[in-house]
Amino acid sequence: MWDFSGKTVLVTGGSRGIGRACVLAFAKSGASVAINYNRSEEEARRTLEAAKAFSNSQIFRADTSRVDQVNAMVAGVVKYFGKIDILVNNAGVLRRSPFLEITESEWDWVLDINLKGYFLVGQAVAKQMVEQNTGGAIVNISSNNQERAAILLAHYNVSKAGVAMLTKTMANELAPYRIRVNNVAPGLTETDINRKDIANKEWREGRMARIPLKIVAKPEDITGAVLFLASDDAKLATGTTVWVDAGATIS
C-alpha cells in the first residue's frame, strides 16, 4: 500500500517479533532497512537475509539503553546508508513479577530498555534528522499497558506509560523540524516474550475474556499501523497513539 523507495528506516529490536515484522514490511515496500539487535546475531542475520530479498539492508548491534552504543549505531547507519528518514523504536523487554518482589535491578532493566532506550535512540536519530533538514517520522511501539494496569507488570506498565508521554513531548518539540512522532499500542501479540504464557490455557482464557474481538495478534498484524504513521498519508498525524489491540482498551 505504501512505497518507501529511497527511504532509510532504522528498526530497533528488529531481529524478531514485531520488530522483525516491521523490518520485512518496510523492505517489501522498497525501503533500505537498518536492523538493530543486541543479543542474538544469529536471529539478526536470519532477518537480514529475509530482508535482503527485497531491499538493501544491514544489521547494527547496540544495547539501546547505552548512550555510547546508541550514538555509535546511529553513526554507523548514517555511514552505511547516508541518512535516516524513519525510526521505529521497538526494542523492549518484559518480565512478570509481583510488585512486592520487584528488585531495583529488575526495575532498572525494564525501564532502561523500554523507556530510556526510546529516549536515547529517539534523540540521536532526531538530531540526525535535524542535521539532514529533510524532516522525518518516528514511530514508537508501546503497548495498551500504557493505560491498562495489568498485574505483575508494574515496571512494564510504567515504562509504556512513559513512552506515551515521551511520544507527545517529542512530537511537540520536533514539529518545527517537520519530524512527526507517533505511537502504536499493540494488545496481546504472540512473540517470543509471551509465547509460553499464551500456551497456558488458563492464562490465555483469562486474557481473551477481556478482548472484545477475541483475537491474539501476530506481529504482522501490527505493521500496517506502523507503515501508515511512517508514510506521507499520515502527514497530519503527530503526537498520537494508534491502538491495535482488538478492542482490549474499551472493555
Q: How far is CA 88 from CA 126, 203, 213, in A?
A: 12, 30, 27
Is position 156 annotated as part of the catalytic site? yes
Q: What is the CATH number of the domain that holds 31?
A: 3.40.50.720
The number of folded domains in the chain is 1
**pTM of the full structure:** 0.96
Whether 226 is covered by a domain: the verdict is yes
Long-range Cβ contacts of 169-174 (<8 Å, 24+ apart): 170/122, 170/126, 170/138, 171/238, 171/239, 171/240, 172/239, 174/126, 174/138
pLDDT tens for 130-147 read: 999 999 999 999 999 999
* Grid cell listed for 186: 499493540
Q: How many residues does the chain have?
A: 251
251: pLDDT strictly greater than 70: no
Average pLDDT on 180-198 reads 93
Mean pLDDT of 223-238: 98
State mean pLDDT over 181-200.
92
In a domain, 206, yes or no: no
**Residue 100 within a domain:** yes
The answer to whether residue 193 sits within a structural domain is no
List pLDDT tens digits, range 4-28.
999 999 999 999 999 999 999 999 9
Tens of pLDDT, residue by residue over 56-67, are 999 999 999 999
37, 80, 156, 177: the active-site residue: 156
pLDDT at 157 over 70: yes
∠ at Cα 71 (69, 73), nearest 5°?
Answer: 65
Q: Which domain holds residue 40?
A: 8-188+219-246
Cell numbers linked to 233: 498519508
Residue 208 has pLDDT above 70, yes or no: yes
